[in-house]
Amino acid sequence: MTDRQNRRVLLASRPEGEPKPENFRLETAPVPQPHEGEVLIRTRWLSLDPYMRGRMSAAKSYATPVEVGAVMEGGTVGEVVASRNNAFREGDMVLGHSGWQDYAVSDGQGLRRLDPAHGPVQTALGVLGMPGMTAYTGLLTIGQPKAGETVVVAAATGPVGSAVGQIAKIKGARAVGIAGGAEKVKLLTEAFGFDAAIDHRAPDFAEQLAAACPDGIDVYFENVGGRVWDAVFPLLNDFARIPVCGIVSHYNDTELPPGPDRTPQLMGAVLRKRLTLRGFIVWDFASQARDFARDMGAWLQEGRVRYREDVVEGLENAPAAFMGLLKGKNLGKLLVKVA
Amino acid sequence: MTDRQNRRVLLASRPEGEPKPENFRLETAPVPQPHEGEVLIRTRWLSLDPYMRGRMSAAKSYATPVEVGAVMEGGTVGEVVASRNNAFREGDMVLGHSGWQDYAVSDGQGLRRLDPAHGPVQTALGVLGMPGMTAYTGLLTIGQPKAGETVVVAAATGPVGSAVGQIAKIKGARAVGIAGGAEKVKLLTEAFGFDAAIDHRAPDFAEQLAAACPDGIDVYFENVGGRVWDAVFPLLNDFARIPVCGIVSHYNDTELPPGPDRTPQLMGAVLRKRLTLRGFIVWDFASQARDFARDMGAWLQEGRVRYREDVVEGLENAPAAFMGLLKGKNLGKLLVKVA
């Protein structure tokens, strides 16, 4: 094992605004050795997700930032290639957090064994994993869509957005998806079954959204902010619910947008329309993991939920793929096939 | 009855910014006559409340605006002076919505008979009425204060704020009140039992608030917005709840404040801190009226909730009193003693 190398992508420096290639560094290190009680995991799949942008910054958040010089964090599916832990055997496929590297050692804490007979293991990083559960918990616990209501979500071909739309449909709501570009928009209605799909790049995007929501918006699953929020805001109905899952269009902001300050406008609408805005991260709803696995597993089997993957080959391509993710260049759940 | 006159305060014109005397007009009309099934009510007490500023504007809200030339709306306690409705007798004291006038006719819909033996009837406009129930429902349903948590409320000597603080204390939370001026601040700790009280006019108001909330803020009952919100915002804890009941400091705004636009900052905090912002009006929680009457009645009897009234004599003084209310000139629940 000592002749093998461990390629690792480190955070080289903190980005100012958009992450750039120089913020990452690919280096090669010896493969670590598992001690008693540990396993050595070879990464097969690395998940790339918008939340990672936050970890690159030093700002206080719900998670500790990645240190400069440390391996970039990330959810992974890997294979146990050496085990000194009775709970795992060589050849086991496991869901874990190895990060952006070929190999990692783990004491087994937080690892979950995956059964390849149950379907493609990398779905544990997408529709059956964190993004799928983000959609499920945020939409159902905070959004609470009712039959006949209108649910709007952006980044709708992504793993969270596509699940939000499809779960909304399962609950009898009308699903309106927003995405960038004709190809994605087409996919929303044709592959994911959205009732309407809008291209946020269209010059008349706000008008198109209003036309697609003739009865207003009851649930807006917020994951982008910015222009989409501006178009959604006037369409919100009384008692609308807004699960706030992300504001990816602002993650690279280095300063606030110019004035006027629209905070009083937002608070005024919260009051007059009795809106609910509630932020969440999926781990706040960890107790729902079993319900999620049961429901989403069934919906997948029944063909009521579909998913789409965007696979990039090679760990060395992870930084470029991640930078593209923040610009919406992926189509579906972005995964790096590491080995 | 025909020789008596009905003085009425009309909305003469819609205010631009702060209401001014010329936006109101006092006129005299004949006393209306009750038809079969109706009662004639002589107004004893008129409640003045910040929400009335909204009714003076044409802007869409949860309630229809008062028409120009119509009698200003308002909750009242009055005496039935003529009855052609079997449900009411002359001499009955009733809670209703006669508005800013001496007399009004009602078909009995929405009237509630009050028993003077149960305490001062005008409390049905304050601690035992809409303001008290606003505090009770918003704080308990949305704010959900837990023992040991910190609850902050502004306009804290007012009928809503003082009830919020005292109910928070009953629930075992720490209550921090904000008010304008030394007299009010003193009242907060000495009469209403707040743990700490801050003067929002102090130049170092934000620092004082931070010092009074060493463990951060878990519940902020929002009824003012503006400077208070700015000071509260950085102190909000993870999972803080913000019942949005009013933004009285903005009711006279004619334009948005200058930039930058801090909306992304707010949405970012909602996300990172998993805040809940939820707007409400008391009627959204009408089903809790019985619980409220039971609990608040008991707390008053036990001396655990106190209230304070600011009584203005004479209907003709209602406009000036209302203009003062929007500037925080009242001390306690503002009532007009009409007759």
> Tens digit of pLDDT for each residue in A55-72?
999 876 667 899 999 999
From chain A, the residues in CB contact with B260 under 8 A are 255-259, 261
Q: Which residues contact B94 (CB under 8 A, 6 or more apart)?
A: B39, B41, B77, B78, B79, B80, B88, B111, B112, B113, B114
Q: Does A117 touch chain B (CB under 8 A)?
A: no
- Coil, strand or helix: which one is A213? coil
Q: What is the domain class of B5-126+308-337 according to CATH?
A: alpha beta
Q: pLDDT at position A117, please?
A: 87
CA B145 to chain A, closest CA, distance in angstroms equals 17
From chain B, the residues in CB contact with A255 under 8 A are 260
**Do the Cβ atoms of B256 and A276 come within 8 Å?**
no
Rounded Cα gap, residues B314 and B323, in angstroms: 15
SS percent in chain A: helix, strand, coil, step 5? 35, 25, 40
The predicted model gives B174-185 an average pLDDT of 96
CA B68 to chain A, closest CA, distance in angstroms equals 21
Mean pLDDT of chain A: 95
Q: Does B260 touch chain A (CB under 8 A)?
A: yes
From chain B, the residues in CB contact with A247 under 8 A are 264, 267-268, 271
Question: Model confidence over B263-319: pLDDT tens digits?
Answer: 999 999 999 999 999 999 999 999 999 999 999 999 999 999 999 999 999 999 999
**Do the Cβ atoms of B274 and A257 come within 8 Å?**
no
Q: Report the run of H or E that residue A241 belongs to, with start and end.
A: strand A236-244
Rounded Cα gap, residues A250 and A226, in angstroms: 7
Q: pLDDT at position B40, please?
A: 98
Cα–Cα nearest to B79, from B63, B87, B95, B91: B91
The predicted model gives A218-241 an average pLDDT of 96
Q: pLDDT at position B132, please?
A: 97
Does position A251 have pLDDT exceeding 90, yes or no? no
Best residue of A244, A252, A281 to probe chain B, by most B CBs closer than 10 Å: A244
Cα–Cα nearest to A152, from A242, A30, A248: A242
**Do the Cβ atoms of B256 and A255 come within 8 Å?**
no
**CATH: 3.40.50.970, 3.40.50.300, 3.90.180.10, 3.40.50.980. Which one for A5-125+308-337?**
3.90.180.10
Does position A298 have pLDDT exceeding 70, yes or no? yes
CA A127 to chain B, closest CA, distance in angstroms equals 22
Rounded Cα gap, residues B334 and B308, in angstroms: 9
Q: pLDDT at position A284, please?
A: 95
CA B165 to chain A, closest CA, distance in angstroms equals 21
Instruction: Count chain A–chain B contacts defined by CB atoms under 8 A.
Output: 142
CA A152 to chain B, closest CA, distance in angstroms equals 17
Q: Two tokens at B226? A: 């503006």
For A236-274, b where at least 16 C-beta lie within 10 A, e where not — what string? bbeebbbbbbbbbbbbbeeeebeeebbbbbbbbbbbbbb
Q: Does A57 touch chain B (CB under 8 A)?
A: no
Rounded Cα gap, residues A142 and A137, in angstroms: 8
**Do the Cβ atoms of B262 and A281 come within 8 Å?**
no
Per DSSP, helices labelled H in A200-335 are 205-212, 226-232, 263-272, 289-301, 318-325
Q: Does B141 touch chain A (CB under 8 A)?
A: no
- Coil, strand or helix: which one is B220? strand
Q: pLDDT at position B1, please?
A: 44
* Minimal-distance CA residue of chain B relative to A61: B272
Band (A324; pLDDT cuts 50, 70, 90): very high
From chain B, the residues in CB contact with A261 under 8 A are 256-263
Q: Two tokens at A210? A: 């209003």
Band (B60; pLDDT cuts 50, 70, 90): low
Q: Two tokens at A267? A: 């608070």
From chain A, the residues in CB contact with B271 under 8 A are 244-247, 279
Q: Does B67 touch chain A (CB under 8 A)?
A: no
Nearest-by-Cβ selection for A257 from B225, B260, B281: B260
From chain A, the residues in CB contact with B281 under 8 A are 274
Portion of chain A with pLDDT greater than 90, in percent: 90
Portion of chain B with pLDDT greater than 90, in percent: 90
Rounded Cα gap, residues B325 and B252, in angstroms: 12
Nearest-by-Cβ selection for B265 from A60, A256, A260: A256
Q: Two tokens at A259? A: 């004035």
Q: Which residue has the tokens 């696979």?
A: A311
Please name the fold of domain B130-285+293-298: Rossmann fold (3.40.50)
Domain coordinates of chain B in residue numbers? 5-126+308-337, 130-285+293-298
**Do the Cβ atoms of B263 and A262 come within 8 Å?**
yes
- Across A274-278, B49-53, B84-88, B251-255, least confident range: B251-255
Nearest-by-Cβ selection for B261 from A261, A279, A284: A261
Q: pLDDT at position A2, please?
A: 47
Give the start-end residues of each E strand in A48-149: 76-83, 93-96, 103-106, 112-114
Rounded Cα gap, residues A291 and A283, in angstroms: 14
Q: What is the ipTM of this complex?
A: 0.90
For A163-201, b where at least 16 C-beta lie within 10 A, e where not — what string? bbbbbbbbbebbbbbbbbeeebbebbeeebbbbbbbbbe
Q: Which residue has the tokens 């759940």?
A: A333
Q: pLDDT at position B288, please?
A: 97
Best residue of B227, B235, B277, B282 to probe chain A, by most A CBs closer than 10 Å: B277
**Do the Cβ atoms of B253 and A264 come within 8 Å?**
yes
Best residue of A232, A272, A281, A285 to probe chain B, by most B CBs closer than 10 Å: A272
* Minimal-distance CA residue of chain A relative to B142: A276
Does position B2 have pLDDT exceeding 50, yes or no? no
From chain B, the residues in CB contact with A144 under 8 A are none
Q: Does A245 touch chain B (CB under 8 A)?
A: yes
CA A334 to chain B, closest CA, distance in angstroms equals 22
**Do the Cβ atoms of B247 and A266 come within 8 Å?**
no
Does position B19 have pLDDT exceeding 60, yes or no? yes
Residue B198 · residue B209 · CB < 8 Å? yes
* Minimal-distance CA residue of chain B relative to A283: B274
Q: Does A225 touch chain B (CB under 8 A)?
A: yes
Q: Does A224 touch chain B (CB under 8 A)?
A: no
Task: Note the pTM of the prediction, 2 decimals.
Answer: 0.91
Q: pLDDT at position B336, please?
A: 98
